[in-house]
Amino acid sequence: MSTDNTALRGKALYQEHIRSLVETQESLGKIVAIDIESGDYEIDSDLLVASRRLRIRHASARIWAERIGYNAVYAVGGTRTRTTIP
């Protein structure tokens, strides 16, 4: 599967199934790591921690990440923009 396909599937899973479950005041700004094959996910403030926990359950997980409530996981030379209003 191509990187473009991974991004499309990951974004679609987040928008259509996961976003409404995870966008809470408590999780705002945290990372959600999503296995694009199973749709399973983990949330943590650290991407590596969330990804490792997800791989414990799905060893061959194809992982896509989103920062809850923002338009980017990380911003290099720019800023992240809030996509939700609490």
d(CA 48, CA 6): 18
Question: So what's the pLDDT on residue 85?
Answer: 56
In tens, the pLDDT along 32-78 reads: 999 999 999 999 999 999 999 999 999 999 999 999 998 888 777 66
Q: Are 58 and 35 in contact (CB under 8 A)?
A: yes
